Structure 1
């Protein structure tokens, strides 16, 4: 984590989190997930289409760009709803803020794997039967989906150093819902 005192004379480091976006693309009671490949992080695990916010972008512009780049869909701002905001710290200790957006897809539009070098497959999964167990899904993505389905809108997901990157239901639940007004 970069430390920036930014004029803080007390010397306390400020957070400088990466901001990422996640697309919860729905078709009825199913959700689109992609299997990561050749990314250097969580390869082989399922995750929602996602990516980092680039310099000069807002979070909505970023999720629209990522949808086009990863799954070949042109989304409009009016297609998106904020589903969840999560502050997350991975097992390696680097914090980030994830914005999860919901969009619905009609049956006449089909996503495509537009980045086969980074994604080995796209598939629709029933919301009530998401892949479970070690080696299936990225833990913080799974935690975000579960919080979204539970109606939460703001959560913390703070891994401990020995936590795995993949979702393991036998491990402690690290999600802490934050109340909203």
Structure 2
């Protein structure tokens, strides 16, 4: 039997005034044109919290207080060998901006995830709202 080589990622739930931050994917090769949460791969020897802090700074120009991060959901996507950590960011500072225009065409604040949100991301946001901490998906 072959050993599973999971690819870990972190997805950030950043809210302000009752809205959640989404970005429109652009020239990434995966779900381009669709909306997703700010996210990124977790590097070797890095925790989900550390990855969220790094990715938020790289992608959005913001600094996250490490104490303000809460893991809300974990999704194991076994057919694509991925494990995704969804974290809520309760406190951040900085001038929010799109630092990666080559991967993201715009930042959008939404009150509800709509039809433009990548289905697996939308499903997991809904899981969080239902209080479900873990899910498994074919995607």
Using the size of structure 2 for normalisation, the TM-score is 0.92
Is 1:104 the counterpart of 2:104 in the alignment? no
Which is greater in Rg? Answer: 1
Is 1:131 the counterpart of 2:114 in the alignment? yes
Deviation at 1:102, TM superposition (A): 0.2
Aligned to 1:167: none
Deviation at 1:104, TM superposition (A): 3.1
* Paired residues of 2:20 and 2:109 also in contact (CA < 8 A): yes
Is 1:53 the counterpart of 2:42 in the alignment? yes
* Paired residues of 2:63 and 2:94 also in contact (CA < 8 A): no
* Paired residues of 2:25 and 2:33 also in contact (CA < 8 A): yes
Q: Which has the higher strand share?
A: 2
- How many angstroms apart in 2 are the aligned matches of 1:57 and 1:113? 23
Deviation at 1:14, TM superposition (A): 2.2
Unaligned runs of 5+ in 1: 1-11, 160-181
Aligned to 2:26: 37
The equivalent position to 1:150 in structure 2, one of 103, 127, 130, is 130
Q: What is the SS of the residue equivalent to 2:63?
A: coil
Unaligned runs of 5+ in 2: none
- Root-mean-square deviation over aligned CA pairs: 1.7
The structure 1 segments of at least 4 consecutive aligned residues displaced by more than 2 Å after TM superposition are none
Mapping of 1:88-103 within 5 angstroms? 88-89=77-78, 93-103=79-89
- How many angstroms apart in 2 are the aligned matches of 1:66 and 1:110? 15
Number of aligned residues = 139
Q: What is the SS of the residue equivalent to 1:101?
A: strand
Is 1:113 the counterpart of 2:98 in the alignment? yes
